[in-house]
Amino acid sequence: MKTLLLLISLAPCLVHAELTVPHFFSDHMVLQRERAVAIWGKANALAEVKVEFKGKSAQTKADADGKWRVQLETGAADAKGATMLIQSGAEKKEIADVLVGEVWFASGQSNMSYQMKGSPQYADLTKKSTHPNLRMFDAPRVTAVHAQDDIAGKWAAATPETVPNFSAVAFFFARKLHFDLGIPIGVINSSWGGKPVETFTSREALNTLPGTKALVDATLKADANYDEKKAQKVYLTQLKKWQEMTQQAAKKPANQRGIIAPRPMPPKRPLDLEGKPGVLFNAMIHPFIGYTMRGAIWYQGEGNANANAVPYDLTLPLMINDWRKRWNDEFSFYYVQLANFQQPSTAPGTAHPWPLLQDRMRLVLATTPKTGMAIINDVGAANDIHPKNKKDPGERLALWALAKDYGKDITYSGPLYQSNEIKGDAIRVTFAQSGTGLKSRDGSQLKRFEIAGADQKWHWAEAKIDGKDSVLVRSAEVKQPVAVRYAWAANPEGANLINSEGLPTSVFRTDNWSQTMPKVTPNKINKTPVKSR
């Protein structure tokens, strides 16, 4: 008996391993059409594995650790659910109701996590949303110190019962593609509110950029110095105090209780904290690496809108390229520019991190191939960082996909700054994506254009549409202009330049002058007053 136990311990290949696949290979999933899609999982070490789907099959042998992967041709889009059979020896696994269509990956922070039920105006639409061929996989919010190979969750078709819990932006994106293309659409949603771009990026990639490497180094140092017993003691003290305050408040009338502090969270080591570099990459991105898809959509940036953040036109491309390298696929990547937010400013020359980050998002279009940006500086709210309007952001993302991935001849973006030329006492600014012509949203004079001379002092400008795709900008106070800005404020109330499709113009600047940035932290950004220079 002892000899048998010894043989088993020395020869793991003799131990039976259940045939398994990650949770996202499950009933009701959607596979990318017209591609050789990757399917993978675990079985007995060195065992033969066969995958069959719609008359096609692929075989492989598991490695010494029991890991296996195959590629299977899917063919054209198919809305008729089929069964995928995975077999290894006597073990069989059937995955039912599998569709073939277009697959997209959705990620980011709270405005991507934001669910349909958060916007009351979508209640009637939700009741009518029975779309059996529009499906979403919703990943749970989890952390991990090391890269994971699986994550919980399940696929769900769009019904009045499931749609309330769908990511609103992802739903409207998928809904427009589904209606316009007439084929199944699947979205994997893996997002978490309040988190910076660095936590969705691998630490290996972050170490290649000095600014983000400093963040990784600081986290590693904090983790090395982490005292679990001490942290637990502090937590229990805080929890006891919170419980006492809650009990005292409960004895008072409801209108006298005041604001109750949130319950303290159990301590975690720094390398397992969701906002730290690489943590959500390990837990919520890495498991999906290799899932064959058309592209990704992204709504994030609020967590990086502070003066001390590494410039977003460096960190976002870093993450995009990191994902593409790991997927071994130059997939399309479309993101939402931040919405207008906070109290409107009234003076030109506003120095604020919000428009600076918005503009850095715009710059990514020129530096990173196969990217697109949904402009939404017309849907925000002064006192709410989570705009209730999620239809426009989702559908504007879909316009990029329809044009760039599906060959639709459409105007797919709001006007984007293209070039400028000094014309005497004015500057002519030319835009791409003007449609059949630029115009004012409300028919009134164009607003929120600023102009400056070499002294770098900004003045409100008179701006007039001059031709199909250009605007002439001038001010009587600036005789020799050198630079123009548009919508340069956290909330540029009155910004009204749009194209023929009604899509708004992105914030931009033609200068590269540095700014004196107010010190703003993400958790205080809603309370930060807008100051003019």
For the segment 14-21, the average pLDDT, to the nearest whole number, is: 78
Interval 386-409: pLDDT, tens: 999 999 999 999 999 999 999 999
Interval 69-103: pLDDT, tens: 999 999 999 999 999 999 999 999 999 999 999 99
What are the extents of the domains in the chain?
12-191, 227-261, 416-519
The bridge status of strand 91-108 relative to strand 295-299 is parallel
380 closest CA partner among 477, 504, 277: 504
User: Tell me, what's the pLDDT at 255?
Assistant: 84
Give the integer Cα–Cα distance in Å for 40 and 149: 10
Chain CA centroid to CA 197, Å: 9
Distances (CA, A) of 305 to 113, 127, 353, 527, 528: 18, 36, 6, 13, 12
Give the integer Cα–Cα distance in Å for 351 and 337: 18
**Residue with more model confidence, 252 or 518:** 252
Position 29 pLDDT exceeds 80: yes
Angle CA 151–152–156, to nearest 5? 125
Interval 219-239: pLDDT, tens: 999 999 999 999 999 999 999
Position 119 pLDDT exceeds 80: yes
Position 518 pLDDT exceeds 70: no
Looking at every residue in the chain, the average pLDDT score rounds to 93
What string of H, E and C letters represents the secondary structure of 246-280?
HHHHHCCCHHHCCCCCCCCCCCCCHHHCCCCCCHH
The residues that bridge with 92 in the sheet, in sequence order, are: 87
Residue range 12-191 in CATH 2.60.40.10: yes
Give the integer Cα–Cα distance in Å for 435 and 410: 8
For the segment 176-186, the average pLDDT, to the nearest whole number, is: 98
SS3 content of the chain, % helix, strand, coil (to 5): 30, 25, 45
Phi-psi region of 452 (alpha: psi -120 to 50; beta: other; left: phi over 0): beta
User: Tell me, what's the pLDDT at 4?
Assistant: 45
For the segment 240-266, the average pLDDT, to the nearest whole number, is: 88
Angle CA 467–469–472, to nearest 5? 65
CB-CB contact of 153 with 139 (8 Å): yes
